[in-house]
Copies of this chain bind each other. A is one copy, B any other.
């Protein structure tokens, strides 16, 4: 296991546009994920501008603290692309011209009928100690070299910043090269998605899990607006061993959390709800007041949702609640639009108007205005109509209108999912 800890990497992304926030750094997260999946421990990701001294600095730190340094960006043909020159200086390399790269660049321009400029030809210059890999999707080659590091044989890779070029080189050149750096164990991980409890309560439900954890098994809690994601990471000598222990831990967690777990990885609440409806051969319709269409939007984000989604009614004005959903004017007058009674009538009304098996409804005060001492901003009633009965739930949300809509939509779908999961 010693070696597993040593297979550490730093990702250096280069470009002023990243520092000033003009673009989001999706390259760093993608590379981080790919390395992690192959058992490499990403210890640091750093972004610097197109500055030779800072690039050399970061490369130096990366090779002091780990065995792999992946640099992206700054390999283009313009004057602010300095990565290649900085790295050549770092290793004391001259730049040498690579005929295969030059041929590929010229062929690429010829096939498009564009004149090749000197700056384009300079794409074929590479630091002499680096291998240049021809770019089939662009002009800048990938540049790779092995190097000694305090932790063992290492690798430096320079890749273009254009995401699809970078990904291609990672898959074709960098990841295979990393495989050859030596046995470095395996990592297995799994993320369970939960909805219905806050972070500290999920934590409490998992009391006792510490006995399963240790240096090579770790757990992270990642809350977002839809719930709490619980990620288990296991490190072991072989992939089989890592996966076996990962499964052990996640089975344990699933037993404790039960129906709170709605999926894994990139699953969604609407996807989980859709699967349940499909299994039961149920259709669904929605009647939305306070969520204003968001529940219908999320349900129809799922490809193939038309198999079970009949449609919805956004009853923003009270007149629509009466005319299309058949909510009795006296119920509205007596209990108010934000009430358990109206939520139930809306769910039953849309189920009947659209002829679905199940239905959801939302009615609430999203803010910033409209609150009363009795029904403050954040008060939401949701209705859950099943084929044979109707239930309602009271949600107490916050004061941010947009977050309230998101939370109400997620919790409403989750409540129906739980009801169906409990056998409804």
Contact = CB atoms under 8 A, between A and B. Distances in A.
A59 interface: no
A368 B293 contact: no
B31 A21 contact: yes
B368 A303 contact: yes
Given A43-B48, A78-B203, A220 B303 contact: no
A183 interface: no
A49 interface: yes
A191 B20 CA distance: 12
Contact of A314 (B199, B204, B293, B400): B293
B22 A400 contact: no
Interface in A385-424: 396, 398, 400-403, 405
A137 interface: yes
Interface stretch (A93-101, A114-122, A146-154, A172-180): A114-122
Interface of chain A, main secondary structure: mixed
Interface stretch (A239-247, A248-256, A315-323): A315-323
Contact of A200 (B48, B120, B162, B398): B120
Given A44-B54, A294-B297, A369 B303 contact: yes
A332 interface: no
A25 B25 contact: yes
A76 to B, nearest CB: 7
Nearest to A325: B311
A1 interface: no
Contact of A297 (B222, B292, B369): B292
Contacts of A292: 296-297, 299-301, 305, 309
Nearest to A118: B200
A222 B22 contact: yes
Interface of A: 16-26, 28-34, 36, 42-49, 54, 76-78, 80, 111-114, 117, 119-120, 137, 162, 164, 189, 191, 198-201, 203-204, 218, 220-223, 231, 233, 286, 288, 291-297, 299-301, 303-306, 309-317, 319-320, 324, 353-355, 367-369, 396, 398, 400-403, 405
Given A19-B44, A119-B203, A300-B405, 10 more contacts: A19-B43, A21-B29, A23-B222, A76-B221, A78-B199, A80-B218, A286-B314, A288-B293, A291-B297, A292-B299
16 contacts: A17-B231, A19-B42, A21-B31, A21-B34, A21-B36, A22-B29, A24-B29, A77-B199, A78-B200, A80-B220, A164-B400, A292-B309, A296-B316, A311-B316, A312-B316, A324-B354
